[in-house]
Amino acid sequence: MDSTSQEDLQTVAQALANERFIFGSSGIAEELPNFWGPPRVGLSLKDLPRNNVGTLIIVGSVTPQTKSQVNYIRDQGLPVMAMDTGCLFISSDREQEANRVVEWAVPKLISGQTALVYGKHQPDEIGMTYEAAARVGINRIEASHIVSGTLGEISRRVIEATGGKRLIVAGGETSNDVCRSLGIVGNLVLKEIQPGLPSGLSRGKNELLVVLKSGSFGSPDFLAQAIEHLIKL
């Protein structure tokens, strides 16, 4: 089933309200509760975790859409750091690079700024990353896991060091590794920012306001919109 309007989404939600498993865009979650009866657990927006620490953005996707979103943030003058993905395949080098990124991001967040960290994503940079991995016997799939895993570890260290409560992640595999590193086991959908792209309240070891998105989703200004959205929740 597909929807072209909010009314379509309401009709689909009503038809599927009693199904135990539904696969598709997260937009359906906006309408399903209207057909579930009285809520069993209440959540007030005033109860959401908040502080004055800045927003951490972690980007692992290399899609054209995500590149344009990173460029938009850079053009707005917000702090952006490229993680050197070519030096992650020897443990000592990986630790040194992670330390460099964490030491850059932590003071930014503590001062209330946004800090965006991304893995180098230009075609030549991606090629050099895979070549560096191949030199030590690591294939492309394993290399991608190491890159996203390092971003996950960086996110954990930055959040723990700053007490930050706002996190945005671009990239499906990266979102998975970030959630694993932070001990996030679930996500309560809050509000839609753009079609199919909601904010959420993470559940698990860390309670954070989060936006987790596929790399190919969102307009060029989506990350900027997501920052403002989380601040205003």
Q: Topology of domain 51-232, per CATH?
A: Molybdenum Cofactor Biosythetic Enzyme; Chain A (3.40.980)
The chain-wide mean pLDDT, for the chain, equals 93
Percent of the chain with pLDDT over 70: 96
pLDDT at 231: 97
Where is 151: in which H helix or E strand?
Answer: helix 140-162
* Other residues' Cβ atoms within 10 Å of the Cβ of residue 224: 17
pLDDT at 58: 99
Residues of the chain with CATH 3.40.980.20: 51-232
Segment 75-79 mean pLDDT: 98
pLDDT at 156: 98
CB 63 within 8 A of CB 173: no
Q: In what order do the strands lie in the sheet with 209-213?
A: 80-83, 115-119, 55-59, 166-170, 209-213, 197-204, 184-194
pTM: 0.86
Q: Virtual CA dihedral for 131, 136, 141, 143, nearest 10 degrees?
A: -80
d(CA 121, CA 21): 35
Question: What's the gap between Cα 96 and its chain centre?
Answer: 23
- The three-state DSSP-derived secondary structure of 100-144 is HHHHHHHHHHHCCCCEEEEECCCHHHHHHHHHHHHHCCCCHHHHH
Q: What is the pLDDT of residues 218-229, one digit of tens each?
A: 999 999 999 999
Task: Look at residue 176 and tell me whether its pLDDT is greater than 70.
Answer: yes
pLDDT band for position 33 (cuts 50, 70, 90)? confident
Main-chain phi, psi angles of 109, to 5 degrees: -65, -40
pLDDT at 44: 65
Segment 49-69 mean pLDDT: 97
Cα distances from 204 to residues 5, 187, 208, 222, in angstroms, run: 34, 9, 9, 26
* Other residues' Cβ atoms within 10 Å of the Cβ of residue 140: 12
d(CA 186, CA 48): 15
Segment 87-104 mean pLDDT: 98
User: Which residue, chain included where needed, has tokens 């009693």?
Assistant: 18
pLDDT at 39: 62
Task: Look at residue 41 and tell me whether its pLDDT is greater than 60.
Answer: no
